Structure 1
Amino acid sequence: MANPSDPAICSPALPIPIDLFLSKQHPDYLTNSSGDIIYRINRHALKSSSVDKILLPHADAADPLISIFRVNKESWEGFKGDVGEENLLFKVQRTLNKLRRTEFKVFLVGGNLDDSNASFEMKGWPFQRSCTVYNGNTIVAQTSLMHKLRQIWVRRGRFRLTIFPSSVDPALIVALIVIFFDGRM
């Protein structure tokens, strides 16, 4: 049996994945396993486009961590803080939208936006709440359905977002997941 005071087990150098939970019943909140709200999503739908804001639980809508602006049916822009050209953080382009597969390329600002090499890629099937975020060949985050023992049909109303340890800001991953599911949570 391992000793709990062993530095190899309790070391902060051993990062662990973060699990957040999304629910169709409460699509505007991401919670931890205790039910505490970690991120809040503030949705504003306009006639021509929509703006979603990723907020901390007690933050005002005027102080978002990331704002997502839908440019057209196939592309989005993400801004640090509120929407403004000087705050542009990333651009997302849908590259495949088939019945059983959806794929996106994410371009972080600072890189060449016209370059075919994306900073991140998102692949999955929204109907099954399946999305994997890649940075090259490395999995950065992944969504999955909640499975229960002895349950034949798994309800799709609640699912898990696992953010694996990396240098990527979890709020950025949450913003990418909001784009991937775009109103289908």
Structure 2
Amino acid sequence: MISVVEDSFCVTYPTEITVNKKYRGFFLNQRYEVLDLNGNLLLQVDGSSLDVRKKRVMRDATGSLILTMRQKIKVVTLRHRWVVYRGGMSEEKDVIFGVERSHPLDMKPRLEVFMATNINEHISSFQLVGSHIDKSCKVYKGDTMIAEVIDVYPRSNFSKWTESFRVKLNAGVDFAFIVALLVILTVNDYI
């Protein structure tokens, strides 16, 4: 089992989820809705495009706060780093994991994921390789692929600016963790 956010978000069998990204209020606010195969709401992620830190919050279907994602920019290397905290917290003790992009000039983007215990040693536990738009986005733990974007639905007309993609998950994988990685990927325009 690969539980990063919480055991209750681990699927017991291989499955698919759909992630809908919607823009609201003249593209200033973004909302991600995560649905199961039957169209039931599993998660929501909200944030503003004008937020300098590009903060995002994830809630479950009942509206309870699960985690907070905050961006930090390393000025020296120009690499974007995200830190993900449990609930609405933002203290060091509440860090779950950190995410950093590979070198900005890499042709194929790669996000390195560092668990809280290894965040300062820079020991990567997971990698997200590719782009969901190219339909080649995959999440790895070591050499094992644990999730992948399998289908992308393009943005629709201007009045309903949306984007959707389906994600295939292996059994035992924490879907809240995978969704957090995909949100970080799309917020930073690594696509």
Shorter chain as normaliser: what TM range? 0.7 to 0.9
Corresponding residue for residue 97 of structure 2: 90
Corresponding position of 1:141? 147
Which deviations, in whole Å up to 9, do the C-alpha atoms of 1:129-162 show, x marking residues without a partner? 431111101112111215xxxxxxx746432112
Cα distance, 1:55 vs structure 2: 0.8
Aligned 8 A contact 2:21 2:33 in 1? no
The CA RMSD measured in Å over matched residues stands at 2.7
Give the Cα–Cα distance (whole angstroms) in 2 for the partners of residues 97 and 18 of structure 1.
Answer: 33
Contact 2:22 2:32 in 1 (8 A): no
For residue 128 of structure 1, give the secondary structure of its aligned residue in structure 2.
Answer: coil
Gaps of 5+ in 2: 1-11, 24-30, 74-78, 156-162
CA-to-aligned-CA distance 1:107-140 (integer Å, 9 cap, x gap): 001125323x301011012432431111101112
Amino acid of the structure 1 residue aligned with 2:16: D
User: Looking at CA atoms only, which structure, 1 or 2, has the larger radius of gyration?
Assistant: 1
Give secondary structure in 1 for the equivalent of 2:178.
Answer: helix
* Equivalent runs, 1:92-171 vs 2, <5 Å: 92-98=99-105, 100-111=107-118, 113-115=120-122, 117-145=123-151, 155=154, 157-166=163-172, 168-171=173-176
2:20 aligned with 1:16: no
Q: Would you say how many aligned residue pairs link Structure 1 and Structure 2?
A: 160
What 5-or-longer segments of structure 1 have no aligned partner? 1-14, 147-153
So what's the TM-score if we normalise by structure 1? 0.74
Is the CA contact 1:66–1:80 (under 8 Å) kept in the aligned structure 2? yes
Separation (CA, whole Å) in 2 of partners of 1:103 and 1:141: 14
**Superposition TM-score, scaled by structure 2 size:** 0.72
